[in-house]
Amino acid sequence: MLFKVFPVGELIRLFEILSADRIVGPVKKGEDQHGHSLYDFDVVHDFAELRLDYTQTIHSAKNYFLPYREDLCTFTFQDAAGAGGDETGGSGDGQGRPNAAGARDGGSGDWQKEVDYGVYAPLVLFGLHPCDINALNKLDKVLLGGRYPNPFYGEKRANMFIVGHSCNPQPFCFCKSMGTDSAIRGFDLFLTRMDDLYFAEVLSSRAFHLLEQIDCREPDSREHRRYLNEMAVKESLFVAHVDTSDLTKILDLEFQAPVWKEWGEKCLSCGTCAQVCPTCYCYGVEEHVDMDLNHGRKEKKLYSCNLLDFAVVAGGHNFRPESHTRLKYRYYHKHRGFVEAFEESLCVGCGRCGQSCLARITVPEVIASVRASK
């Protein structure tokens, strides 16, 4: 890893160079009832909109590489003359509709399948905190490293430039407990604010050449110490903690613990926690056919394991009808199953789920209660 420093005033120049591509970063969206600013990721056209002093965004940036809704493919009926989707070809029923085999009676048309990965321009994610960068690294393991890599996700990741930014730990952040308070990979450039200077960690050649275009230099030993001091100050600011020692074993031992029912009774099964989480990737697939029977599409939607019908299977049987079994499953996936598969937790400790949950169910409280089970 290479290190550079540049004056804070140069950041706008960096932004302008990158703005040839689409930039997504933290922006202010309003205020809560206590007057605290609310932030979210959005497309940023003007440097003044970018709020790198943000506390935490409500949602992660997931929607830009793992959209909530996405067409996996679309289908169009193409008749022999190539007039797809109209009523000019021979018809199966006299009204231009194909028969069940996908061809029109007396015609030689067929269904044409189209796949669009939804990548139209390079994307710059500007200002991701370490927890969100580490969340991307975890998603990469599942969606790119497995036997069947996800090309929709892979194409978006390949067209992404990531600028990380240092953060100020909030009272609900427990990323330090999850080992995700610092990122050592998964970004091109990571910026740590040191008063009038930015300390830059450079991981890609594109980031290196980008910095050549601004007023930038090597840090001296005094600036190295300033950077390490910034890290030490940040570490001292964490309030929330999760004891992860032997957690997978404890979860196995406490699978039937009564606390799961207590948390399940509070849970509203709304699925908000999965929507805001940077690492939840479960999804469902639906197929839709247009009324004219000439067009169809296969749609993927992110889903939540807390939703009532998550475990409904063919025939209508729901093998997790009770909210506590679904809530427990979410915790076991994050803190046990994923650890078994990848030797790390699927939770990065961003605290978003607890902040957004109307029932005020937070990861530190749930884990602490399970550890304290008698």
Binding site for ligand SF4 (CB under 6 A): 267-273, 276-279, 306, 327, 334, 347-353, 357-359, 361, 363
Residues in the chain: 374
Give the shortest CB-299-to-ligand SF4 separation in angstroms: 23
Q: In angstroms, rounded to a whole number, what is the distance separating the alpha carbons of residues 233 and 196?
A: 17
Q: How far is the CB of 311 from ligand SF4 (least distance, A)?
A: 14
Q: Choose between 92 and 351: whose C-beta lies nearer to ligand SF4.
A: 351
φ and ψ of 109, to 5 deg: -75, 175
For the bound state, the minimum distance from the C-beta of residue 54 to ligand SF4, rounded and expressed in Å, comes to 16
Q: Is the dihedral of CA 350, 23, 51, 49 positive or negative?
A: negative
DSSP SS3 for 248? helix
Least distance from ligand SF4 to the Cβ atom of residue 40, Å: 14
Residue among 174 and 227 whose Cβ is closer to ligand SF4:
174
Among residues 18 and 327, whose Cβ is nearest to ligand SF4?
A: 327
C-beta of 232: minimal distance to ligand SF4 in Å? 24
**Plot region of 299 (φ>0 → left; ψ -120 to 50 → alpha; else → beta):** beta
CA–CA separation, 76 and 339 (whole Å)? 43
Phi, psi of 162 (to 5 degrees): -115, 125
Residue number with CB closer to ligand SF4 (44 or 277): 277
172, 186 in Cβ contact below 8 A?
Answer: no
Q: Considering beta carbons, is residue 216 or 277 the nearer one to ligand SF4?
A: 277
Q: Is 96 or 354 the residue whose CB approaches ligand SF4 more closely?
A: 354
Give CA separation, 140 vs 132, 136, 185, in Å. Answer: 12, 6, 12
Three-state SS annotation for 250-287:
HHHHCCCCCHHHHHHHHCCCCCHHHHHCCCCCCEEEEE
Name the residue nearer to ligand SF4 (CB basis): 294 or 306: 306
Q: Report the distance separating Cα 77 and Cα 308, nearest Å.
A: 36
CB within 8 A of 357, min separation 6: which ones? 272, 273
Sole residue written with tokens 């040839």:
20
Q: How far is the CB of 241 from ligand SF4 (least distance, A)?
A: 13
Longest CA–CA separation in the chain, Å: 82
Helix locations, 127-243, DSSP H: 130-143, 151-158, 175-178, 205-211, 221-236
- Cβ 256 to ligand SF4 shortest distance, Å: 20
**Residue 201, phi then psi, degrees to nearest 5:** -100, 125
Q: Between 257 and 353, name the residue whose CB sits nearer to ligand SF4.
A: 353
Indicate the residue among 15 and 41 with the shorter CB distance to ligand SF4: 41
Kind of pairing between the strands at 160-165 and 189-194: parallel
Choose among 337, 173, 338: nearest CA to 242: 173
